[in-house]
Amino acid sequence: MDKFYITTAIYYVNDTAHIGSISEVIATDIIARYKRLKGFDVFFSTGTDEHSQKIENRAIKEGIEPQKFVDREASIWKNTFDKFKISYDRFIRTSDVDHIKVVQDFFKKLYEKGDIYPGKYEGWYCVRDETFLKDSDLIEGKCPYCGGEVQKIKEENYFFRLSRYQKTLLKYYKEHKEFLRPESRYNEIVNLIKSGLQDVSVSRKSFKFGIPVPFDEAQTIYVWFDALINYVTSIGFYDNKDKFEKYWPADLHIIGKDITRFHGIVWPAMLLSYGLPLPITIFAHGFWNLEGARMSKSLGNVVHPDDFVNKFSEVAQISEDISIDTLRYYLSREINFGQDGDFKMETYLKRYNSDLANDYGNLINRTITMLYKYNDGVVPSRTSDDKEIVKLIEGKKSTYIKEMDEFNLSFALDEIWKIISSLNNYIQRKEPWKLKKESTDLNNILYHLIEGIRITTILLLPFMPFTGEMILKLLDSFPVDFKDLEWGALKSGINVQKISPIFPRIEKDKIEIKVDRKDLISYKDFNKLDLRVAEVIKAEKVENSEKLIKIEISLGIEERTIVAGIGKFYSPEELIGMKIVIINNLETKELMGVKSDGMLLAASNDTELSLIIVDRDIKTGTKIS
Ligand code: MSP
């Protein structure tokens, strides 16, 4: 039996699962389930990334021990994955004992080989992304990836000799076009390697919550070096060499596009240095936005899949399991896997009502109702095949397989829906209600419909495991594998149980989604903010910056300078005379060499920005509360 080792990225334990992260683990689960159905010996690994500076910071903020904090949070992730029917074989935590041993072993081996060496790091660090950054990486003083604040660090670190692997990596990429997909990311990484690789820091001195460098306890191993190794730990690298030999190299690492550099450059270089084979394919998918905006906790627009699924099950009057299947379906159908997507309630409702309620659900309801009306709920035997239907199903089935093998999840679903709509048309065309009860023609039609549903449902099983199992059990056809896809495998004589509509139509055109309210603050904390009305008296662009504008404001009794990143949305001229809102008691900050004393308020998302202004002529300097 061929093996298939598939992984997701591991999730920062301090974040809660959101629609974006759950979409990755769902897509991975779909591929894992598909491969199992096809007969592969699959190992599916996912888990949590627990050793970062931001995790230590969060635990300190909550006043609990970091280990207790990560234990609590990891179990929340695991419960969510269980609820969403994620069929992982191992849920790895980077605080697992075997993982700690493997990371230390890796570090030591690379050190002994001369690929890790001590040095001095001077540069920037983005805590949110846990990334080291050079001066030239920063965009207007901020992290180029998340736009967040960066810290200056100057400390002794160990470095990994990434530069040594530039040539080998390029050659490998050239010879293995399937190593990184889709092609656009392949090209991006190849260009990055061509532009030159520099050694990277792989340890930190100034924080403790992590794995100690085995020969230098004062240093903690950098979280990315630690995290990437999870892929080998998970399959027994520490204590089960046979298992490791069986499953390594990974067949498919599924990750988001934001972490392609670590997976496409650093990880293979680490493996080359250790002397291990490289993964077969890394697939970097796109990002889900929420109603057009980037989803992030700091923007306060995170939708928790748990809350969402519960809410939707209430609205649709369906069980939580069917609601989970609906979400799994939507995420795989709405965009083709790999692309960016926009999670929208409007399209969610449309997909539910038209694809699930009208097409698939209705086909099942109509068929079972007819089966009861015309044959007491029993599957009849067939005397001949309708060539058109059989040919159509065979054709769609083979395209489905081709698409699934290429991870084109939504294209594969398109094929399933073509079968569903031809079966619905078949009913219209054949008008079984006009035929005589128990006639061969009527029995043949009923058989074709149920057999069509059975095959469709097997194809759907990786996407909708709960619904699929429920329907296949009604047809006495569970468990299944690929051989059961053969036309005619449905046994006649089965008594099919009546069921109520699986996806009842929703007669609403809008559903409110609950978004996560950011950490609540007390009135006392709010009162610490000194918000004031200020009038812009002078404004000019900051030299060498497209975004920053230097603004002189009047607060009535005093004048002040603030620097604001609004240059893409406002010209300096139009600001003059505007009455804006500022935070008066914010510490001074230097931006591109200009001191900013305060901050103006604006509403913004990725593409728009609007200043908060007062709509009546109120005295400059008035306090806002
Ligand atoms: N811990 C690192 C990964 C280490 S892997 C050795 C990390 N964690 S994360 O929690 O920030 O992200 C985990 C995965 O979720 C990443 O692959 C990331 O791209 C993905 N996603 C995070 N937000 C997402 C969306 N909005 N949409 C789709 N995927 C998203 O990075």
Instruction: Give the pLDDT confidence of 336-352 residue by residue, as tens digits.
Output: 999 999 999 999 999 99
C-alpha to C-alpha distances, 237 to 54, 55, 87, 97, 265, nearest whole angstrom: 28, 26, 21, 12, 22
The domain tally of the chain equals: 3
Answer positive or negative: Cα dihedral of 201, 202, 206, 207. positive
pLDDT of residue 443: 96
CA nearest neighbour of 461 among 449, 452, 469, 451:
469
Please tell me whether residues 469 and 351 are part of one structural domain.
yes
Question: How are beta strands 288-290 and 341-343 bridged, if at all?
Answer: parallel
- Chosen domain end from 225, 255, 286: 286
pLDDT band at 50 (very low <50, low <70, confident <90, very high): very high
411 C-alpha to ligand 1 centroid (Å): 24
- Exposed / middle / buried, residue 284 (Cβ in 10 Å: 0-12, 13-18, 19+): buried
CA nearest neighbour of 394 among 479, 490, 491, 488:
488
Q: Is residue 194 part of a domain?
A: yes
316 φ, ψ (degrees, to nearest 5):
-85, -5
- Chosen domain end from 435, 467, 485: 485
**Residue located via tokens 């699986």:** 502
pLDDT of residue 516: 56
Give the ligand 1 atom nearest the CA of 230. 6
Q: What is the CATH number of the domain that holds 560?
A: 2.40.50.140
pLDDT of residue 298: 60
Q: Is residue 199 part of a domain?
A: yes
How much is the average pLDDT of 463-489? Answer: 96
Q: Is residue 325 part of a domain?
A: no
Task: Please tell me the distance from the alpha carbon of residue 196 to that of residue 102, in angstroms, as a whole number.
Answer: 29
* Residue 42, token pair as written in the block: 């699959």
Q: What is the CATH number of the domain that holds 160?
A: 3.40.50.620
Please tell me whether residues 365 and 479 are part of one structural domain.
yes
Question: How are beta strands 609-611 and 281-285 bridged, if at all?
Answer: unpaired
Please tell me whether residues 476 and 527 are part of one structural domain.
no
Please tell me whether residues 174 and 37 are part of one structural domain.
yes
Please tell me whether residues 79 and 224 are part of one structural domain.
yes
Give the ligand 1 atom nearest the CA of 341. 27
How much is the average pLDDT of 431-456? Answer: 95
Please tell me whether residues 277 and 134 are part of one structural domain.
yes
What element of type H or E holds 353?
none
- Pocket of ligand 1, beta carbon within 6 A: 9-12, 15, 20-21, 23-24, 49, 227-228, 230, 255-256, 258-259, 287-288, 295
Please tell me whether residues 382 and 457 are part of one structural domain.
yes
Does residue 545 carry a pLDDT above 70? Answer: yes
* Residue 585, token pair as written in the block: 């008691």
Q: What is the DSSP letter of 91?
A: E
Q: What is the pLDDT of residues 121-131, one digit of tens each?
A: 888 988 888 88
Please tell me whether residues 620 and 529 are part of one structural domain.
yes
Q: Is residue 601 part of a domain?
A: yes
529 C-alpha to ligand 1 centroid (Å): 34
Question: How are beta strands 11-12 and 41-49 bridged, if at all?
Answer: parallel
Q: What percent of the chain has pLDDT over 70?
A: 97
9 C-alpha to ligand 1 centroid (Å): 6
Ligand 1 mutation pick, 259, 265, 409, max ligand atoms within 8 A of CB: 259
Q: Rounded mean pLDDT of the chain? A: 93
How much is the average pLDDT of 278-306? Answer: 85
How much is the average pLDDT of 538-558? Answer: 89
Q: Is residue 247 part of a domain?
A: yes
Closest residue by CA, ligand 1 atom 5: 9
Does residue 605 carry a pLDDT above 70? Answer: no
Which residues form the domain of 204? 3-286
CA nearest neighbour of 139 among 492, 428, 547, 561:
547
Please tell me whether residues 480 and 531 are part of one structural domain.
no
**Cα 395 to the chain's mean position, in Å?**
32
Q: What is the DSSP letter of 381?
A: P
**Cα 251 to the chain's mean position, in Å?**
19
pLDDT of residue 544: 83
pLDDT of residue 507: 87
Please tell me whether residues 566 and 468 are part of one structural domain.
no
Q: Is residue 303 part of a domain?
A: no
304 C-alpha to ligand 1 centroid (Å): 15
Helix (H, G, I), strand (E, B) or coil at 544: coil
Please tell me whether residues 213 and 98 are part of one structural domain.
yes
Q: What is the CATH number of the domain that holds 375?
A: 1.10.730.10
- Chosen domain end from 246, 261, 286: 286
How much is the average pLDDT of 352-364? Answer: 98
Please tell me whether residues 435 and 380 are part of one structural domain.
yes
Number of other CB atoms surrounding residue 579 within 10 Å: 20
pLDDT band at 297 (very low <50, low <70, confident <90, very high): low
Angle, nearest 10°, between helix axes 320-333 and 19-37? 90
Does residue 527 carry a pLDDT above 90? Answer: no
Q: What is the pLDDT of residues 90-102, one digit of tens each?
A: 999 999 999 999 9
Task: Please tell me the distance from the alpha carbon of residue 226 to that of residue 359, in angstroms, as a whole number.
Answer: 47
Q: What is the pLDDT of residues 380-427, one digit of tens each?
A: 999 999 999 999 999 999 999 999 999 999 999 999 999 999 999 999
Give me the DSSP letters along 2-35.
Answer: -EEEEE-PPEETTSPP-HHHHHHHHHHHHHHHHH
Q: Is residue 508 part of a domain?
A: no
pLDDT of residue 327: 98
* Residue 356, token pair as written in the block: 């699930």
Pick 516 or 459 by higher pLDDT. 459
pTM of the model: 0.85
Q: Is residue 252 part of a domain?
A: yes
Q: What is the DSSP letter of 298?
A: G
